[in-house]
Amino acid sequence: MTTTNETKTWIITGASSGLGLALAEAALEAGEHVIGTARRADRFDGLKARYGDRLLAVEHDVRDTEGAATVVQRALEVFGRVDVLVNNAGAGQVGAAEEITDAALRSMLEQHLFGPAAYVRAVLPHLRERRSGAIVQMSSQGGRMSFPAVGSYSAGKFALEGWSEALAGEVAPFGIRVLIAEPSRFRTAFNAADVLNTARQSTTYDEVIGAVRANMAEADGIQEGDPARAAQVIRDMLDTPDAPLRLPARRRGGPQSHPRLPRRARRRREVGVGERVGGLPGPAARGARVLIAVRCSPWPPKR
């Protein structure tokens, strides 16, 4: 099937579960087109049965950076356009710095930085030519702050956020929006035993990160946030002309930091929501608004 009409078209990586699935369902319910990627295309069978040709399911591992261009080209061949790229694919990882191997750390960067960067490079020529479009980078609460046991995961998300903040200023003059979503705990498979990566544990760190390990596992299925609600908020932000660069997404009234962190690590406040990035002119400044987070006390505490 080939179409060149004005129906909005989304590319969503990791669209078979979690927030990616919620965004895909919201787009399809709105009559839009979705190119969804996952490591196994058969995970889209249910969506295909419901939405037919409006969903193009593509088997792709985000760590295969060379394959990103093929996915984008396929989207253009089938639907004729791309309006929104959502870099959602990825997984979490738990382990102290000493427990995380080079390969495990590299995997986080491949999933959360190199993979998204490859998709952005592949889609930008099309978006620039049309002088419109949006790029949604699914970061995390762990992309603005970190805590013991999740350093390797945060390394990928911190890198994604820094890269994306610069990207926002670079593409704003071409009419392209960048939105960095920073979800906290949502009812997805993120914490499931077969999804969450866990390093080989050392008893040396049991007292330091044992509670975090347990909490991450116990959270599976009982996370506070609603993925469907988060998807709708993201859609609303993309339709808001003066939306901020960063979108912290958490349950209403909920805490921003990990529930079992020592109190000093949780004592943070947000200031300057929606402030402009200094020195960026005109459209670039409008495309690069920031949320500034500051620590109110040091972490780790002095002994």
CB-based contact 33:10 (threshold 8 Å): yes
| Active-site position among 119, 153, 154, 164 | 153
SS (H, E, C) 31-56: CCEEEEEECCHHHHHHHHHHHHHHEE
Output the pTM of the full model. 0.78
- pLDDT for 214 beyond 80: no
Token pair of 299 as six digits: 């972490």
Select the more confidently predicted residue: 84 or 90. 84
- Percentage, residues of the chain above pLDDT 70: 71
Which of 4-8, 85-89, 270-274 is modeled with the greatest confidence? 85-89
| Active-site position among 157, 164, 184, 205 | 157
Catalytic: 48?
no
- Could you read off the pLDDT of 11-24 as tens digits, one per residue? 999 998 888 999 99
- pLDDT for 197 beyond 70: no
Catalytic: 51?
no
Give the integer Cα–Cα distance in Å for 135 and 176.
8
| Active-site position among 139, 140, 154, 164 | 139
